[in-house]
Structure 1
């Protein structure tokens, strides 16, 4: 006998909240770790910026797919977006564990814009973790009414995080060594 949708959600909610805390804490801790005697992975920033760009495109495509009633395509695209986000996270941490921080070299208003984008990107990237996971579990448990409700909040935040990731990269890329 399979578990009810509510039981399935309850089971996964524990994991969602654990991951929503563990991931940002682990990233913050690993961000401060430097692996000695390792060549910096300087090729990664454009790769993970491209992953953000691809994620943004696929998120929009997934919304178009579901609005056209193509649930299978929507589901597959969303799984790819989750996978891309995980790949981004691994590459981002790996880069920062092997490289010194890159200071932003712009001045004046552009520096203010950069830091506003950067801070909002970081804060929302932390906040979107539970939203993505909750949205995914609601769909997994076939509670599509609740999935739609949370997805309407999740989508614009996740899209903002993906797009601002690209913008932040483009703004800081001239200052990479």
Structure 2
């Protein structure tokens, strides 16, 4: 199958996922199982785990770029697939935590408070924007449209890396305020 056909085949799924993921996360984020009367244990152990997954994603993204620059396409592809898997795992844990736990408020003050919210807001916005970028870049790569893949990857990579790194930073900044 030609690369254009492969891209077209996946384009509807890219659109569906790019819209559905943020909508479903927003809906589930606003649902707390305790408020609905369910007696579930808060999953307070998850934030350091999903923050670590963000850190691992960042390291693997850098490694993937180094691999492709050295011509190791198979390692690059495997690492990117792992990064996508890490992102899915992060998302599942993030939603599970917020569905079972009390909202954590950032307690910092002054300039630190403004810095935290700047990082948090840019992290959230880019985490939504990055979804179609990652999916289209990935499909172009597996379809063999390497020039188009490379062109888009130059935009996707720094955004994805920013989301992964700022996920860790947000966790480190809010960690002292978690209720256990």
Same fold? TM cut 0.5: yes
State yes or no: 1:27 paired with 2:25: yes
Alignment counterpart, residue 40 of structure 1, candidates 26, 39, 42: 42
Name 1:130's counterpart in structure 2. 132
Aligned equivalent of 2:107: 105
Q: Deviations over 1:32-91 (max 9, x none)?
A: 111121010000000000000000000000000000000011000000000000000000
Structure 1: distance between partners of 2:146 and 2:2: 14
Q: What's the counterpart of residue 170 of structure 1?
A: 172
Please give the alpha-carbon distance, in whole angstroms, between the structure 2 residues aligned to 1:4 and 1:59. Answer: 27
RMSD over aligned Cα, in angstroms?
0.5
Runs of 4+ in 1 over 6 A off after TM superposition: none
Residue of structure 1 in register with 2:60 after alignment: 58
Residue 150 (structure 2) pairs with residue 148 (structure 1): yes
Query: Unaligned stretches of 5+ in structure 1?
Result: none
Q: Which residue of 1 aligns with 2:14?
A: 16
SS in 2 for 1:69: coil
How far is the alpha carbon of 1:157 from its aligned partner? 0.2
Write the distance in 2 (CA, Å) between the matches of 1:167 and 1:6.
39
Q: How does 1:85-100 map to 2 (within 5 A)?
A: 85-100=87-102
* TM-score (normalised: structure 1): 0.98
